[in-house]
Every structure is written in structure tokens, then in C-alpha cells.
Amino acid sequence: MPRFIALHRRSLLIVTGLLLAVAAYLLYPRPPVNHYLTATVSTMDLEDTVLATGTIKALREVSVGAQVSGQVKSLKVALGQSVKKGDLLAEIDPRTQENSLEDAQASVSSYQSQLKSKLAALLKARQDFARQQQMLGQQATSQESYDSAKATLDGANADAEQLQAQLQQARISLKTAQLNLGYTRILAPIDGVVVALPVEEGQTVNASQSTPTMVKLAQLDTVTVKAEISEGDVVRVKPGLPVYFTILGEPDRRYQARLRSIDPAPQSYSDSSDSTSTSSTSTSSSSSSSSSTAIYYYGLFDVPNPGHKLRINMTAQVSVVLSQAHAVLAIPANALGVHGKDGRYAVRVLQPDGSVQPRAVKIGLNNNVHAQVLSGLRAGEQVIVGEASATASSSSSGHNGPPPMGM
């Protein structure tokens, strides 16, 4: 019986202790537990780039116009056709220009005949004056006859000079007529591809007010990419830097090149210079809105285009490479702490036993996503990139009771 009483008291003590422990747990919740987010120090290739959106343009584009008016007699090329310099592109009805040429030839012949007559009169006037000059020295003629012969000579000389000038003008008109007749045959000024045919056979073109475009030719064996670089990044780039880009149709293929030049003026200046006409109203509107819009500068580079896969006005996603590092140790940039006066960054390293060790790390290339580790860390170590505080699982369930068995 005493033994039973002793066991009963011990059980009461155990139960009482458990109840006190549960009460203490309910009154005083467990402190939060730190859960660290880590990243492994690993080897990778890094690059610091400036991103830009570009537009593909032909290396050279020429609008071939008509310098004479008339009806388009025939087109000798088709859209997309490759042509060589000097190839015939189109013909304009030449009859008007042929008539002008014949008229100019007739004028030249007329002035040549008139000049022959004037030169003959000039020769006779010179002979008459020489005779009167000789006779005046021998006092065999009067002063009046001498003066009359001299005046006749001067007049004949002036008439001949005038006819010579008129003949020269007629010859110039003849050359112009010959040129105009030649302009009825539109020839390719460069090697290229026909990218536009704004006119059709039978259409009448008028070159008296402006030069109508007959054919547009573009050199597509090499294309130029015009990349829009923001004013915040343009100070970081310079000609000669490597660039690469992708197009929407081939997002996995990189086209490599080097930056050729950077426009000294903003994109709006370059675009306005490309326009043939700009109204004062639109110019004023553009100027007033320029302060509220982003400023971009064109960066230009050329890319070989075999097969002409890259086409005019395609969009290019461009990366200008500022610096590169191959096969280097790197960590996420958000693992970096305070930047010290010695140039090193504070980094927290999670040890195998769960403790945290502060390190001073020297950093090289940093593209704000990953940072190159020059010293202070070894491959495979775990750096802390963040942490989250979480209470016991019972808190998430909405009560402060004890955790389930096995927790």
C-alpha cells in the first residue's frame, strides 16, 4: 500500500510538471528561428553589358529617280532582284527628248552656217582695212575711207564673236538634250537588291517639280544595325566594343560584331535629318515634348549578311559588351554587404555547423546580377543571400498549442 501511494504521488508530480510546461509554452511562445537563403560559390562566365533595341538597315540604300518627265515605257527589274551597277532598270518614253535633241542639232547647224558667213565678211573687212591703211600711208585715199573701213572691220569682228558665243550656247543645249535622252534609260548606280518599285509601267512621271523615285536599291550583303542607347548608358560605351544581337525569328542565335560609331546627337536629330520634309508645327511639338521623353543615341555597327537572312527594319535585341571574365569564381550580387574603405565587401558565409562567419571579399566584375570573386572565398562555400524569420509551425496554424508529436 505505501508503494502504491508513492507511485501515485510520482505520477501526480509528472503530470503536474507536464501541465506547467504546457502552460509555460502557451504563455511564452518560442522565439523565431532563422532560415538562411544561400548560394554556392561557383565558376562561371561573366559579362557586363548595355542592353539596347536596334533596327536593321541596309548598308547603303539609294532611291533611283527620273530626271526627265514622261510615261514609264517599261520596267526591266522585279522586286527582290539583284542587279549590278550599270544595269538597265527602266525606260521612259524618249520621243519628247529625241525631238529636243533634233532641235538642238538643227540650232547648232544653223549657227555654224551663220558663223561661216560672218567669218567670210570678217575676212573681207580685214582685207579692205589693210588696203585702206596702205593707201593712207601713200596719201592715195582719204581719212574718211580709212575710218569707214576700220568701222566695218570692227563690226564684222563683233558679229563673228557674237555668233561664236551663240554657237557655244547651242552646243551646250545639244549636250543637255543628249543627256536628257540618256536619262530616259534608268541605270543602276550601285550593285544591290531591288527593295521597292514605287512606279508601274504606263505611269506618267513628272520631274519638273521633284525627282520621282523609280526604283529603290539596297546593298544587303552587309547590313547596318542602328541600336538605341539610352543617355544613361551612352557614356559607358565607345567605338570598338564587341556587340552581339538576336532577332525575333532566331532568339537562340547570336550575331557578333563590333561597335563602329556612336552618333554625337540624339536619335531625334538623326531621324529628322533622314526626313525629306518636316513641318514647323511637328518640329515645335517635338521640341516641346523632348524634355518629357527618354533620350537615345544611335550606336552603329555592321554585320555580314550572307543569304540576306537579315532584312530591312527587323528588330534586334542588342547587347554591348563592356567587360568580360571567363571561368571565374562568382556569387550573386545580392550577397554583397557593406563596401569597406579598403575596397572589399562584407559577405556572410554559412559554415557546415550552421554558424555564420563574416568575410571581407575582393570583387572584380559586377554586373548587378553576379559578382566576380577575386579573393576571400573558395569554390563550393555557401554565402548568405537572404534570410527569413519563421515561428514554429504551430503559429502558422493559428494557435499557440504544442507542436504535434514527432516535431
Please, which pLDDT band fits residue 210 given cuts at 50, 70 and 90?
A: confident
Does residue 336 share a domain with residue 227? yes
What's the predicted TM-score (pTM) here?
A: 0.69
Q: Does 225 lie in the same domain as 365?
A: yes
pLDDT of residue 378: 93
Q: Tell me the DSSP string of 123-171.
A: HHHHHHHHHHHHHHHTT-S-HHHHHHHHHHHHHHHHHHHHHHHHHHHHH
Mean pLDDT throughout 47-59? 95
In-domain check, residue 194: no
Judge if 41 and 131 occupy the same domain. no
Residue 77: inside a domain = no
- In a domain, residue 244? The reply is yes
Position 363 scores a pLDDT of 95
Where a domain ends, among 168, 183, 198? Answer: 183
User: Do the domain assignments include residue 336?
Assistant: yes
Looking at the structure, tell me whether residues 243 and 356 fall in a common domain.
yes
Judge residue 136's burial from the number of C-beta atoms within 10 Å of its C-beta, 0-12 exposed, 13-18 middle, 19 or more buried.
Answer: middle
Question: Would 88 be classed as within a structural domain?
Answer: no
Residue 66 falls within a domain, yes or no? no
Regarding whether 333 and 222 lie in a shared domain, the answer is: yes
Say what the pLDDT of residue 387 is. 79
Residues 118, 256 share a domain? no
Residues 167 and 227 grouped into a single domain: no
Q: What is the pLDDT of residue 405?
A: 35
Q: Which CATH number covers residue 226?
A: 2.40.30.170
224 shares its domain with 107: no
- Regarding whether 345 and 250 lie in a shared domain, the answer is yes
Q: What's residue 73's pLDDT?
A: 94
Of 230 and 268, the one with more pLDDT: 230
Our count of domains for the chain comes to: 2
pLDDT at 24 over 90: no
Same domain, 254 and 166: no
- Domain boundary (166, 183, 200) is at 183
Instruction: Indicate whether 14 belongs to any domain.
Output: no
**The C-alpha cell of 154 is what?**
570692227
Give the separation between CA 291 and CA 297, rounded to whole angstroms: 15
Quick check: is 124 in a domain? yes
Whether 364 and 48 have beta carbons less than 8 Å apart is answered as no
pLDDT tens by residue, 315-337: 999 999 999 999 999 999 999 99
**334 and 233, same domain (yes or no):** yes
pLDDT digits (tens, 9 = 90+) for 294-306: 899 999 999 999 9
What was the pLDDT predicted at 203? 92
**Domain assignment of residue 321, given as a range:** 30-60+218-273+294-389
